[in-house]
Amino acid sequence: MSRYQPPLTLTLTMLALVAEISEQVGRLSARHESALTPQLRRGNRIRTIQASLAIENNTLSVEQVTAVLDGKRVLGLPREIQEVRNAFAAYEAMPGWSLASCSDLLAAHGLLMHALIDEAGQFRHGGVGIYRGEALVHMALPPSRVPQLVDDLLDWLSRTDLHPLIASCVFHYEFEFIHPFADGNGRMGRLWQTLILSQWRPVLAWLPVETVIRDRQDAYYAALSAADRQAEATPFVEFMLQALLRALEEAVESETGSSVQSAEESSEETPLLTLLRSNPSLTAKQAAERLGLSQRAVEKQLAALKAGGRLRRIGPNKGGHWQVT
């Protein structure tokens, strides 16, 4: 086993972001038991899955993903529906994995890509290139090198002294650079980074950072390309730390603004539900302005309320209305 060390330059930006993220994690963890109800966890998990798959061109909405996981019939491509089921199974299995286990890594890929590709749960056997449109942005290393490269990376992960926030970002980049699988590398990299973070602080298992990545998808790929050009993970680490901080700020803001509880646990009316009950035609942006919250924070609450059965959308996004249940 080689003593591989991924190339990285620690920067003041990284250290400042780690400090800010740690502060936000402390705030979120302090509210974990009281605020992060099963319905809110489920809502966050659904948003995570929908966003991670959307990055890979899955077109299902949050509402459709929720319906699939509720066992309802959804009008959508069979492959996209299978991707949702697979992703949910993988994230649910995550607590049982060891972050430095190759067998667990392969098992995770097997769940994510079940019935989607022939090589689910196996390292790729052929060459693969990464394209943005028609442009080749990265040609992965030969398949014969993949098993050793993954072993080296996992060995590094098990012994690194880097802060887990930084180590998780480095792993994510190095994993994408190796591109060990025929398909599913992006969603696997994001899943495994979540595993690393959740073993540092359990509350991060439910942080939907993928929604920030989806909204900044061009910047995500630009950071990967910049890291390739510099031959070190530094630009990508800085990008991912910024995405983590943004996701945490939104989570703290959302939970501070309104504690979303299920109908089974509480009949308390939240400010957002009260607003939509009297103004059912409001958009998320308009509701955010009325409540003094960010639009993303309100969208997160809407997703959690829908997942918890407290709210339904009647009609299209434009011209429809909300129904409080």
User: Which residues contribute to the annotated binding site for ATP?
Assistant: 183-190, 220-221
Q: Which amino acid is at 44?
A: N
Distance CA 107, CA 114 (A): 10
Of the candidates 166, 170, 159, 145, which has an alpha carbon nearest to the alpha carbon of residue 232? 170
What is the DSSP code string of 102-120?
A: HHHHHHHHHHHTTTT-TTT
Q: Which amino acid is at 106?
A: L
Q: Is 4 in a helix, a strand, or coil?
A: coil
DSSP letter (8 states) at residue 206 = G
> Position of tokens 């996981």?
69
Distance CA 54, CA 107 (A): 23
Q: How many residues does the chain have?
A: 325
Q: What tokens appear for 227 in the block?
A: 């890291």
Distance CA 237, CA 87 (A): 24
Of the candidates 91, 30, 21, 33, which has an alpha carbon nearest to the alpha carbon of residue 250? 21
Contact 110, 121 (CB under 8 A): yes
179 assigned to active site? yes
H or E segment at 237? helix 234-257
Distance CA 323, CA 271 (A): 15
Handedness of CA 306, 243, 105, 135 (dihedral sign): positive
- Hey, what long-range contacts does 129-134 have (CB within 8 A, 24 or more apart)? 130/179, 132/221
Given 114, 172, 179, 321, which residue is catalytic? 179
Distance CA 159, CA 6 (A): 12
Could you list the active site residues?
Answer: 179
